[in-house]
C-alpha cells in the first residue's frame, strides 16, 4: 500500500496494491478459458447479443417445454426464458443419470464427530431426492407452497432442497444457527406450510436443539401444518401427533423414482432471507430456469470444473453460497462435492487441513474471515499437512485484505493455486465479478473483472459514471439470468432498495472503484463509508491497514459522531495470541495506519476485543459496533448475531 490517491470521487480511495499474479502456465494450458483473448471474446459475445449468448447456453438444460423467448426486460420487471418449462432437481440429477453418469460421486460428506463419513453417487442422490419428494407430496404439500428448511449441514439438507424443487415447492432455508424468533419471523413472512428440521445438530462438540427451536417457532407460525424431523444426534425430542413426522417414516415405502414437476421458467425456486441495513430481513426471491443456468455456468467458468475435481465449498446451505455453489451450481454441472458438517475448529484448529489430507479436494472455496482465523490459529496446525491435492482456491463474502490473500496464496495454495476472489450477493444469485483462474492475472484484494453478461458501472449520487480510479456506487446496468426476481411479498421495498436511486439500474449497495487496468476493487457497503472531516473513507481500507500490522488478527472500523470532524474513526481490534494489548500497542497501531494510509485515517479510538460481533455467516456487524463506539444502546435487530455475549463484553472494554 502506498500514499492516498486523489479524492475527487464519491469515496476517496487510499489503497493501491501493485502486486500482480499471472495464472500458472500449466493451469492455463488445461483451463476451460485459458487466455484473456478467450475471456474477451466471450464477454464481447454476451454484450453484443445477450439473447443469442444465453439462448445457446440454455440449450443444454433439460426443458420439458421449449421457451418462447429468451428475455423480456422492462426494468425492474424481468423474465428469462418465458413460456419454457423445466425442473431444477432434474437439471441437477436426472440429466446426469440419463446420460450414463449415475455412478459418478455427487457428494462426499464428512460429519463433525470424527469418523463419520458418507458418499452418494448421482444415482443414489437421485433416489433419495425422489423418496423425500414423494413423501412431501404424500403429506399434501403442493407446487408453489413454501417449505422452511432448518437443518444441520448433512446430505439431507441438500436432499431436502432438491426434493422441494422436485415437487415445485419453494424452499426457504433458515441457517441452523438462527433462533426460534428468526424461524417464526421467516415462517410468517413466507406463509410456510411445513418445516423440515432435525432433532439436533453438532456444533463444536455440542448439540444444537433444532427441533426444540422449531417447536417454539411453530407455536407462532399458524401457517405451518407439518414438521418433518431427521434423526441426526439422537437427542430426545417431543413429537406432536398429527403435525410431526420422522424423516425415516416419511420416506418408508416411497418410490426411488418419481417424475419431477414441470415448472415454469419463472416459477419461484427458493426464497432466502438476508438482512438489510434496517428493518426486517428481506426474502430474496429466485426463480427456476435463469437461476439454474447462472449457477451452473458461473460454477463452470469460475471454478474451471473438470470431471475429476472434488469441489469443497465450506459454506452452509443456510446462505446463498451454499445454494449456488453447493447444491445447484456444481450439481447442475455434474461435479463431485465435498461437504463438512462442522466448524473449522472442531474438534481441533487443524480440522480443515486434516480433511484436505484425507479427502483430497482439488478446489477449496471459503470466506476471508475463516482465512484470518486460520492465520490467527497458527502454522502448527498446517505444517506437515499434505495440501497438494488443491489446484484452485476461492474467497467470497467480503473483501479479502492483501495480507490474508498473500497468506492464502503462499501457505494454503503453495504459490501454485490461482485465487478467485468472487464478488456477488444473495440478490445476484451467483458470482458476478471474479478472476477466471486460467486467464485473469490476479491482484490481492481485487475481484478483478466482470463475468460475461455482467455490465457493472461506478456512478456518483446523481447516477453519472465517475472518472476511472475514483470510488462510487457500484451498479449493474444489464439484466442477467440469475438476478433476483423481487422481495417476497414486498415489491415496493424491492424497487426502493435496488432500482430507484439510480433509475433503471441495479444498485448493489457496495462502493467500488476501477483501477487503470479496469479491475474492480470493492470498498465496502455504502452504509459502511466513513465521512471524516469531509473525506469519505472506506472501512475496508482502514481494516486492511490494521491487519497488515503483525500483532493484529482482525479489525473492524466504524464511524462515531464527532463534534468537529463529523465522524471519528473507531476501530475494534482482535490481536494474535502472541501479542499483548497495551497503550504502547495502540500508539504503534496509530502510527502504522498513518504510515499505511495517512493521518486522515488514524483511528481516534482503538478498542481491543477478544472477539468481534459477527453474523453466523461471519460478517462483522458494524452496525452494532457503531452503537458501541458511540456509547449508544443497540435498538436494531440482533437476531443474526452469533454470540450475544460479545456486545456486553465489548461495552465492558470501552475506553
Ligand atoms: O458487500 C459485498 C460483500 O458481501 C455482500 C453480499 O452479501 P451476501 O448477500 O450475504 O452474499 C455473500 C455471498 C455472496 C456484498 O454486497 N461481498 C461479497 N463478496 C465480496 C464482497 N465484498 C468484497 N469482495 C468480495 N469478493
Alpha carbon nearest to ligand 1 atom 23, residue: 399
The pLDDT value given to residue 275 = 67
Which range, of 202-206, 368-372, 513-517, 631-635, averages the lowest pLDDT? Answer: 631-635
- In eight-state DSSP terms, residue 45 is H
Residue count (the chain): 655
Alpha carbon nearest to ligand 1 atom 21, residue: 398
| Count of CA atoms in the C-beta half-sphere (13 A) of 636 | 19
User: How far apart are the CA of 526 and the centre of ligand 1, in A?
Assistant: 12
DSSP-assigned beta bridge partners for residue 77: 74
> By C-alpha distance, which of 256, 347, 355 is closest to 310?
355
Residue 131 C-alpha cell reads as 423418496
The pLDDT value given to residue 276 = 57
Residue matched to cell numbers 491497514: 545
pLDDT digits 0-9 by tens, 18-66 = 899 999 999 999 999 999 999 999 999 999 999 999 999 999 999 999 9
How far, in Å, CA of 146 to CA of 165, rounded? 11
Residue 546 C-alpha cell reads as 490494521
The widest CA-to-CA distance across the chain, in whole angstroms, is: 72
If pLDDT is split at 50, 70 and 90, which confidence band does 224 have?
Answer: very high
pLDDT digits 0-9 by tens, 350-368 = 999 999 999 999 999 999 8
On the question of pLDDT at 383 being above 50, the answer is yes
Residue matched to cell numbers 495502540: 586
- What average pLDDT does range 451-480 have in this prediction? 96
Alpha carbon nearest to ligand 1 atom 7, residue: 425
- What average pLDDT does range 549-564 have in this prediction? 90
pLDDT digits 0-9 by tens, 408-421 = 999 999 999 999 99
**Domain residue limits at 613:** 529-651
> By C-alpha distance, which of 317, 276, 288, 291 is closest to 173?
317
pLDDT digits 0-9 by tens, 570-590 = 999 999 999 999 999 999 999
The pLDDT value given to residue 633 = 72
Alpha helical stretches, state H, 59-154? 88-89, 95-96, 122-139
Pocket test for ligand 1, best of 522, 615, 618 (most atoms within 8 A of CB): 522
By the 10 Å C-beta count (0-12 exposed, 13-18 middle, 19+ buried), 594 is classed as middle
Asked if residue 338 lies in contact with residue 361, where contact means CB atoms within 8 angstroms, the answer is: yes
If pLDDT is split at 50, 70 and 90, which confidence band does 234 have?
Answer: very high
Residue 39 C-alpha cell reads as 475471456
The answer to whether position 193 is within a domain reads yes
We report the CATH number of the domain holding residue 152 as: 3.40.50.980
Count H helices, E strands: the chain?
21, 29
Residues with CB under 6 A from ligand 1: 274, 320-321, 396-399, 421-426, 447, 508-510, 522, 525
Element (H, E) at 545: helix 539-547
Answer with the one of 214, 240, 270 that is the final residue of a domain. Answer: 270
Alpha carbon nearest to ligand 1 atom 13, residue: 397
Phi, psi of 578 (to 5 degrees): -75, -15
The pLDDT value given to residue 616 = 74
On the question of pLDDT at 8 being above 50, the answer is no
pLDDT digits 0-9 by tens, 175-187 = 888 888 889 989 9
In 3-state terms, the chain is what percent helix, strand and coil (to 5)?
A: 35, 25, 45
Please give the mean pLDDT across all residues of the chain.
92
If pLDDT is split at 50, 70 and 90, which confidence band does 596 have?
Answer: confident
Asked if residue 371 lies in contact with residue 408, where contact means CB atoms within 8 angstroms, the answer is: yes
Stronger pLDDT, 180 or 231, i.e. the higher one: 231
If pLDDT is split at 50, 70 and 90, which confidence band does 601 have?
Answer: confident
The answer to whether position 142 is within a domain reads yes
The answer to whether position 627 is within a domain reads yes
The answer to whether position 131 is within a domain reads yes
Distance linking the first and last C-alpha atoms of the chain: 30
Pick the atom of ligand 1 nearest to 427's CA. 9
Pocket test for ligand 1, best of 423, 440, 497 (most atoms within 8 A of CB): 423
The pLDDT value given to residue 274 = 85
How far, in Å, CA of 356 to CA of 379, rounded? 16
- What average pLDDT does range 588-607 have in this prediction? 89
Q: What are the DSSP calls for 513-535, one per residue?
A: EE-TTS-EEEEEEGGGEEEETTE
- In eight-state DSSP terms, residue 6 is P
If pLDDT is split at 50, 70 and 90, which confidence band does 566 have?
Answer: confident
The answer to whether position 570 is within a domain reads yes
Q: What are the DSSP calls for 228-244, one per residue?
A: EEE-SS-------TTTE
Tell me how many domains the chain contains.
2
The answer to whether position 395 is within a domain reads no
The answer to whether position 639 is within a domain reads yes
Strand pairing report for 201-203 and 194-198: unpaired
How far, in Å, CA of 154 to CA of 50, rounded? 38
| Count of CA atoms in the C-beta half-sphere (13 A) of 331 | 31
Which range, of 351-360, 427-436, 458-467, 523-532, averages the lowest pLDDT? Answer: 523-532
On the question of pLDDT at 559 being above 50, the answer is yes
Over pLDDT 70: what percentage of the chain?
93
The pLDDT value given to residue 16 = 64
The answer to whether position 563 is within a domain reads yes
Answer with the one of 251, 270, 289 that is the final residue of a domain. Answer: 270
Stronger pLDDT, 30 or 567, i.e. the higher one: 30
On the question of pLDDT at 270 being above 90, the answer is yes
The pLDDT value given to residue 118 = 98
From the CB of residue 81, how many other CB atoms can be counted at a distance below 10 Å?
A: 28
We report the CATH number of the domain holding residue 575 as: 3.30.300.30
Q: Is 189 helix (H, G, I), strand (E, B) or coil?
A: helix
From the CB of residue 140, how many other CB atoms can be counted at a distance below 10 Å?
A: 11
Answer with the one of 253, 270, 287 that is the final residue of a domain. Answer: 270
What region, left, alpha or beta, does residue 448 occupy, with left being phi > 0 and alpha being psi -120 to 50 degrees? left
DSSP-assigned beta bridge partners for residue 511: 473
pLDDT digits 0-9 by tens, 82-106 = 999 999 999 999 999 999 999 999 9
pLDDT digits 0-9 by tens, 398-411 = 888 898 999 999 99
If pLDDT is split at 50, 70 and 90, which confidence band does 624 have?
Answer: confident
On the question of pLDDT at 634 being above 80, the answer is no
Amino acid at each position: 500500500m502506498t500514499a492516498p490517491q486523489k479524492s475527487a470521487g464519491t469515496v476517496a480511495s487510499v489503497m493501491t496494491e501493485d502486486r500482480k499474479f499471472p495464472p500458472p502456465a500449466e493451469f492455463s494450458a488445461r483451463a476451460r478459458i485459458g487466455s484473456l483473448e478467450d475471456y474477451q471474446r466471450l464477454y464481447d459475445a454476451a454484450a453484443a447479443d445477450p439473447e443469442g449468448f444465453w439462448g445457446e447456453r440454455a440449450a443444454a438444460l433439460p426443458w420439458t417445454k421449449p421457451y418462447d423467448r429468451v428475455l423480456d426486460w422492462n426494468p425492474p420487471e424481468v423474465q428469462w426464458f418465458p413460456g419454457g418449462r423445466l425442473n431444477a432437481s432434474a437439471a441437477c440429477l436426472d440429466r446426469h443419470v440419463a446420460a450414463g453418469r449415475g455412478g459418478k460421486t455427487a457428494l462426499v460428506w464428512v460429519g463433525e464427530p470424527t469418523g463419520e463419513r458418507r458418499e452418494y453417487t448421482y444415482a443414489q442422490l437421485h433416489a433419495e431426492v425422489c423418496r423425500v419428494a414423494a413423501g412431501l407430496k404424500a403429506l399434501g404439500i403442493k407446487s408453489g407452497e413454501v417449505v422452511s428448511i432448518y437443518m444441520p449441514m448433512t446430505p439431507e439438507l441438500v436432499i431436502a432442497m432438491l426434493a422441494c424443487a422436485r415437487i415445485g415447492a419453494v424452499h426457504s432455508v433458515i441457517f441452523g444457527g438462527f433462533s426460534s424468533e428468526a424461524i417464526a419471523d421467516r415462517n410468517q413472512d413466507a406463509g410456510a406450510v411445513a418445516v423440515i428440521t432435525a432433532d439436533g445438530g453438532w456444533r463444536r462438540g455440542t448439540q444444537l436443539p433444532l427441533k426444540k427451536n422449531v417447536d417454539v417457532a411453530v407455536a407462532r407460525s399458524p401457517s405451518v401444518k407439518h414438521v418433518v424431523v431427521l434423526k441426526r444426534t439422537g437427542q430426545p425430542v417431543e413429537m406432536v401427533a398429527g403435525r410431526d413426522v420422522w424423516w425415516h417414516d416419511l420416506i418408508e415405502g416411497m418410490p426411488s423414482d418419481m417424475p419431477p414437476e414441470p415448472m415454469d421458467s419463472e416459477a419461484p425456486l427458493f426464497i432466502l432471507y438476508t438482512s438489510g441495513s434496517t428493518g426486517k430481513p428481506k426474502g430474496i426471491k429466485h426463480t427456476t430456469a435463469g437461476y439454474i443456468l447462472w449457477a451452473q455456468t458461473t460454477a463452470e467458468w469460475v471454478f474451471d470444473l473438470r470431471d475429476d475435481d472434488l469441489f469443497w465449498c465450506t459454506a452452509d446451505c443456510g446462505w446463498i453460497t451454499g445454494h449456488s455453489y453447493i447444491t445447484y451450481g456444481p450439481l447442475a454441472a455434474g461435479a463431485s462435492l465435498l461437504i463438512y458438517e462442522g466448524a473449522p475448529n472442531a474438534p481441533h484448529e487443524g480440522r480443515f487441513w486434516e480433511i484436505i489430507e484425507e479427502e483430497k479436494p482439488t478446489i477449496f472455496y471459503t470466506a476471508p474471515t475463516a482465512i484470518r482465523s486460520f492465520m490467527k490459529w497458527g502454522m502448527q496446525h498446517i505444517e506437515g499437512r499434505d495440501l497438494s491435492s488443491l489446484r484452485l482456491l476461492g474467497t467470497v463474502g467480503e473483501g479479502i485484505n492483501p495480507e490474508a490473500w498473500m497468506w492464502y496464496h503462499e501457505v494454503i495454495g503453495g504459490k501454485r493455486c490461482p485465487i478467485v476472489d468472487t464478488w456477488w450477493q444473495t440478490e445476484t444469485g451467483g458470482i458476478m465479478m471474479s478472476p477466471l483462474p486460467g486467464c485473469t492475472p490476479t491482484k490481492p484484494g481485487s475481484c478483478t473483472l466482470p463475468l460475461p453478461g455482467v455490465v457493472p458501472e461506478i456512478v456518483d449520487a446523481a447516477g453519472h459514471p465517475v472518472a476511472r480510479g475514483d470510488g462510487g456506487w457500484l451498479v449493474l446496468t444489464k439484466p442477467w439470468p440469475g438476478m433476483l426476481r423481487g422481495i417476497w411479498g414486498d415489491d415496493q421495498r424491492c424497487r426502493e432498495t435496488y432500482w430507484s436511486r439510480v433509475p433503471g439500474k441495479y444498485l448493489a449497495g457496495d462502493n467500488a472503484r476501477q483501477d487503470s487496468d479496469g479491475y474492480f476493487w470493492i470498498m465496502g457497503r455504502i452504509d459502511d463509508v466513513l465521512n471524516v472531516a469531509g473525506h469519505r473513507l472506506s472501512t475496508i481500507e482502514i481494516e486492511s491497514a490494521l491487519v497488515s500490522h503483525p500483532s493484529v488478527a482482525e479489525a473492524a472500523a466504524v464511524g462515531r459522531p464527532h463534534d468537529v470532524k463529523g465522524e471519528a474513526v473507531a476501530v475494534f481490534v482482535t490481536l494474535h495470541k502472541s501479542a499483548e494489548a497495551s497503550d504502547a500497542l495502540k500508539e504503534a497501531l496509530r502510527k502504522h495506519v498513518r504510515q499505511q494510509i495517512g493521518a486522515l485515517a488514524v483511528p481516534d479510538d482503538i478498542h481491543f476485543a477478544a472477539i468481534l460481533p459477527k453474523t453466523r455467516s461471519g460478517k462483522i456487524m458494524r452496525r452494532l459496533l457503531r452503537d458501541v463506539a458511540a456509547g449508544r444502546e443497540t435498538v436494531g435487530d440482533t437476531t443474526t448475531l452469533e454470540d450475544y455475549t460479545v456486545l456486553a463484553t465489548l461495552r465492558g472494554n470501552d475506553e
